[in-house]
Amino acid sequence: MWKLLPLISFALVSVLGTVLAGQDKAVDEAARIAAVTQPTDDFSRSEPYELRPGGAATSFETVNRDAFSHASANMSFERELDFKVGNGIFRKIWVSAPASTASSDGLGPLFNARACQSCHLKDGRGHPPATSEDAGGSMLLRLSVPPQDDAQREALASLRQSVIPEPTYGTQLQDLSIQGHLAEGRLRIEYEEIPVELADGTVVHLRNPTYRVTDLNYGPMNPEVMLSARIAPPMIGLGLLEMIDESDILAGADPDDANGDGISGKPNRVWSEAHGEVRLGRFGWKAGEPTIRQQTAHAFAGDIGLSSDLTPTPAGDCTDRQPDCLAAPNGVDPQYGDLEVAPEMMDLVVFYSRNLAVPARRDLDDPDILAGKRLFYESGCITCHRPKYVTRRDEAHPEQSFQLIWPYTDLLLHDMGEGLADGRPDGNATGREWRTPPLWGIGLTEVVNGHTLFLHDGRARNLLEAILWHGGEAEAARKRIVEMTEAQRDALIAFLNSL
C-alpha cells in the first residue's frame, strides 16, 4: 500500500480520508469528492492543496523557460525513459522522402511545420506572425465550406465529419512545401485598434484582426470559404483533462440555460476514429478532438503531412485538386504497417503529451492574489472556468489517476459573442462558440514563450485585453470587471498570473 502512495494524490488520501468498513464506499467517496470540489467562499487564505494544481503530478520547476516541459512529478523511474524518448520524437525534425533516415522521412509535401515543437515551442503557447514576412509557424488557418449536397449534410448531421473541407485547399492552409512543390498560399493579418473605456476612465485599445489569404498557388478558393485562425495552445495537463470523468463535465452543461443564469455551456460531440463512434470532445479551441491520440494524429497529418494509425493517408491534407501532391514520394514503411509514424512512435508522443506536468502555483497566500481570487469568483468567471475536479481512477494511467486538480475550465462550449466569433462551425460548435480554455500555467506564458499573447488567435496582448474581448455568455462577468477600480483589476490580474 505505502509503495503505491507516490502514484496517488496525497491530497485525496488526506482530504477524502479512509472509507470505513461497512459503509457504501461508492456513495461515500462520491459525496466526499463533491465536497472537496465545491468552489470556496473563504478568501482569507489559500485552500488545502491549491499549491498543486496538477495534484501529485505537479511540477515545482517554474522559474525558467522549461517550466512547461517537465514530466509528471509522480512518474516512476521506469516510465521516465518513455517520456524522454517521446520528447525526442516531439522535437524530431522531419524531412522529405525518400531519405536515408527512414524513420524521419515523409514530410509534406505540403505542411506548416517540420516538428511538433515548432508550433508548441517549449511546450507552450503559440503566437500570430509578428510581421507580414513572418512565417508564423505557431499559427494555423483552418478552412471549411458549408455543405454542398445531401451527402455532406448527412456527414455533418451524423457527426462523422465535423467540417466540410474547402474543395481545393482542404481543412487548413499549408504555407510551406517540400522542394518541387508549391505552398498553398500566405496568411495575411490586418489589425484595427478598438478603444474601450473602463469605468474609471482608463482606455484600453483592443486589436481586431482581419484575415485573408494571398498568393494562392492552386486556384481560387470556394467563395463561401470560412477561415479561422488558431495559435498552438499550451501542452501542459492534457492527460489530467482526459481523465476527468465525462459525467463530471456533462453535469455542468446547460445548453438551454434552464437555470436562467445566462450561461448555456454545451458539450461538443465528435467522431472518434479509434472507437468508431461519437464521443465527447475535449481538446482543441472548439473541443473538436475526443482524445489526445486523435489530436496528435490530426496534427501529424495536417501540420506536418505524416500518416499514422488514425490518419493513414500519407499525403496529409492534400486534396484531389492537388494531383502532384498526392503523387509525391512518401515515407511509408511496411514494417510500420505502411505508415510514416509507427504506432510505437505515436504511443511515445502521446505518452509525452499526456505527462507534461502542470506547474505549481506561486505566492498564492499573497493578500493581493487572494483579493483577486475573490473578485474572479464573485464576478462569475468560475461559472465557465470551473476551478477543480477529481480525476477518475485508471491503473493504466497512474500519474493522472484519482488526482485533485485545478484547471479552471468546464471543457464546454460557450457563445463568446460577435467580437470573438469566427463564423466557422466545427461539429456541434457554432461560429460564435469556443471551448473554455484551461487557465493553469497562464501566468508563466511570458517566462516560457517570451510573450503575453492570448485567446485563440493571439489578438489579446495581455490578460486584461483577453478579458475585455469576452462577450456573449461572458458579458455580465466582463461588465463587472469593466466597473472595477484599477486596484481591483490589478489584484484580479495578479491572481491570474499566479495560476
Is the model more confident about 30 or about 178? 178
The mean pLDDT of 476-489, rounded to a whole number, is 98
What's the chain's average pLDDT? 93
Amino acid in position 87: N
The reported pLDDT for the residue numbered 21 is 38
The mean pLDDT of 325-329, rounded to a whole number, is 96
Q: What span, in angstroms and rounded, lies between the C-alpha atoms of 405 and 244?
A: 9
The reported pLDDT for the residue numbered 62 is 85
The rounded percent of the chain whose pLDDT value lies above 70 is 94
**Grid coordinates of 7:** 502514484
Inter-axis angle of helices 292-299 and 343-354, to 10 degrees? 120
Buried b (16+ CB within 10 A) or exposed e, 427-449: bbbbebbbbbbbbbbbbbbebbb
The mean pLDDT of 30-53, rounded to a whole number, is 95
Q: Is pLDDT at 10 greater than 60 in this prediction?
A: no
The reported pLDDT for the residue numbered 63 is 83
Q: What span, in angstroms and rounded, lies between the C-alpha atoms of 295 and 498?
A: 28
The reported pLDDT for the residue numbered 425 is 97
Q: Is pLDDT at 184 greater than 60 in this prediction?
A: yes
* pLDDT classification of 14: cutoffs 50, 70, 90: very low
The reported pLDDT for the residue numbered 28 is 84
The mean pLDDT of 436-452, rounded to a whole number, is 97
* pLDDT classification of 18: cutoffs 50, 70, 90: very low
Beta pairing partners, 270 = 279
* pLDDT classification of 9: cutoffs 50, 70, 90: low
**N- to C-terminal Cα distance for the chain?**
33
Q: Is pLDDT at 5 greater than 50 in this prediction?
A: no
Q: What is the pLDDT of residues 263-291, one digit of tens each?
A: 999 999 999 999 999 999 999 999 999 99
Q: What is the DSSP string of 60-83?
A: ---SSTTTT-PBPTT--HHHHHHH
The reported pLDDT for the residue numbered 101 is 83
Per the CB < 8 A criterion, the answer to whether 68 and 122 are in contact is yes
| Burial of 368: CB neighbours in 10 Å, binned 0-12, 13-18, 19+ | middle
Q: Where along the chain do its domains lie?
A: 2-75+356-497, 96-235+245-341
Q: Is pLDDT at 241 greater than 50 in this prediction?
A: yes
In this structure, of 3-12, 249-258, 381-390, 436-445, the range with the lowest mean pLDDT score is 3-12
The mean pLDDT of 378-390, rounded to a whole number, is 98
The mean pLDDT of 356-360, rounded to a whole number, is 98
* pLDDT classification of 20: cutoffs 50, 70, 90: very low
| Burial of 149: CB neighbours in 10 Å, binned 0-12, 13-18, 19+ | exposed
Q: What is the pLDDT of residues 43-96, one digit of tens each?
A: 999 999 999 999 999 999 988 999 999 999 999 999 999 999 999 999 999 999
Beta pairing partners, 145 = 164
The reported pLDDT for the residue numbered 26 is 66
Q: Is pLDDT at 251 greater than 80 in this prediction?
A: yes
Per the CB < 8 A criterion, the answer to whether 297 and 444 are in contact is no
The reported pLDDT for the residue numbered 313 is 93
* pLDDT classification of 29: cutoffs 50, 70, 90: confident
The reported pLDDT for the residue numbered 428 is 96
